[in-house]
Amino acid sequence: MFKLHGFPTSNYYNKIKIALHEKDLPFEEIRVVPSQEEDFLKISPLGRIPILEYKGEYIRETHVMYEFLEEVAPDTLRLLPSDALTRVRVREISLMTDLYLDFSARPLFQHVFFAAEKPSEAAIEKALKDTLFGWRAISNLLDCENYAVGDQFSYADISAASTWDIVQKSILKMTGKDLWEDKPMIAEYLRKMEERPHIKATNKAQKAALRMAAMAKKKS
């Protein structure tokens, strides 16, 4: 039995939740938030979520979890393609989504989703510049006719479905820039991904959690 430690506001948590569901692996959700408390740092040295627990051992970092799930559950749905070059492309898109989209737009998330103070204009401009740079790089690697890469659902699709929309919403709200304006098929691709039951349910839970977090912030 797997245990997934984290909270549904986190797109990183949601990636692993979707992967576990797609691979039909039973798991228990343990709701925790990032913390620098000593007890939490024992299982998450950086105080971050998610943490995947398996047989009493703790696994950190989303991409490590992706790889681990493929190794420990090889007879379930494969989310890394068998072809080596396609597999590399899946890894590239998954990692670049985190490094060049999520990381670039993240300074805007607290204001857009959690009702925090608006970032400075300089911070907004930097987020836009860095996100556009990252998106140009990623978009050159995409297929998105059916899936992000090739002809099968993969971790690249999970990463995209969990992150691209919140990045787009943040950039659009703060700058008016539509990341998909030159690639309208991206919106259609994301709608298709949203039709997958596990993605739809997980994203719905995230939206509810974000609304609750924003309301709590306004009341505090």
Which residue do the tokens 């836009």 mark?
Answer: 128
Instruction: Give the span between the Cα atoms of 157 and 217, in whole angstroms.
Output: 31
Mean pLDDT (whole number) for 123-152: 94
List the one residue out of 5, 31, 10 whose CA is nearest residue 162.
10
Q: Is 113 exposed, middle or buried (0-12, 13-18, 19+ CB in 10 A)?
A: buried
For the chain, what is the mean pLDDT? Answer: 94
Write out pLDDT tens, residues 86-122.
999 999 999 999 999 999 999 999 999 988 899 999 9
Write out pLDDT tens, residues 37-64.
999 999 999 999 999 999 999 999 999 9
Q: What is the pLDDT of residue 215?
A: 79
Strand partners, 5: 30, 51
List the one residue out of 210, 165, 170, 206 whose CA is nearest residue 188.
165
| Helical axes 11-22 vs 197-219, angle rounded to 10° | 150
List the one residue out of 219, 127, 122, 220 whose CA is nearest residue 173.
127
Which residue do the tokens 């943490």 mark?
Answer: 51
Whole-model pTM?
0.95
Cis peptide before 74 (omega within 30 of 0): no
Q: In the β-sheet with 27-31, what is the strand arrangement from edge to edge?
A: 27-31, 2-6, 51-54, 57-59
Classify 52 as helix, strand or coil.
Answer: strand
Share of the chain above pLDDT 70, in %: 98
Q: What is the pLDDT of residue 122?
A: 97
Instruction: Give the span between the Cα atoms of 180 and 176, in whole angstroms.
Output: 12
Cα distances (Å, whole numbers) of residue 172 to 68, 105, 111, 124, 188: 35, 11, 13, 11, 17
List the one residue out of 76, 60, 67 whose CA is nearest residue 26.
76
CA angle 158, 95, 100 (to 5 degrees): 105
Write out pLDDT tens, residues 161-213.
999 999 999 999 999 999 999 888 999 999 999 999 999 999 999 998 888 87
Q: What is the pLDDT of residue 220?
A: 63
Model confidence band, residue 66 (pLDDT cutoffs 50, 70, 90): very high
Cis peptide before 50 (omega within 30 of 0): yes
